[in-house]
C-alpha cells in the first residue's frame, strides 16, 4: 500500500489545476436551506465565542 501525504497531494493537485487553468466555482450559498444557514451560523458563533476564526468561509 502506498502512503500519501495529504499536504503533498493537495500541493500537486493545485499545481496541476493551475497549469491546466482550472478554477473551481465558489459556492455562493444561494440554494442553502434555512436549516443549513442556521447550522453554519451556529458553528461560526461557537468558534468566535472561544476566540477563534471559523475554519471555513461560509457564504449564507
pLDDT value of position 27:
80
By the 8 A CB rule, do 59 and 44 touch?
Answer: no
Q: Kindly state the cell numbers that stand for 41.
A: 451560523
Q: What is the DSSP letter of 24?
A: P
pLDDT value of position 55:
80
Does 56 score more than 90 pLDDT? no
pLDDT value of position 59:
76
Does 34 score more than 90 pLDDT? yes
Amino acid at each position: 500500500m502506498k502512503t500519501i501525504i495529504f499536504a503533498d497531494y493537495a500541493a500537486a493537485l493545485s499545481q496541476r489545476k493551475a497549469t491546466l487553468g482550472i478554477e473551481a466555482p465558489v459556492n455562493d450559498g444561494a440554494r442553502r436551506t434555512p436549516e443549513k444557514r442556521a447550522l453554519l451560523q451556529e458553528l461560526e458563533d461557537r468558534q468566535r465565542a472561544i476566540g477563534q476564526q471559523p475554519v471555513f468561509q461560509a457564504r449564507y
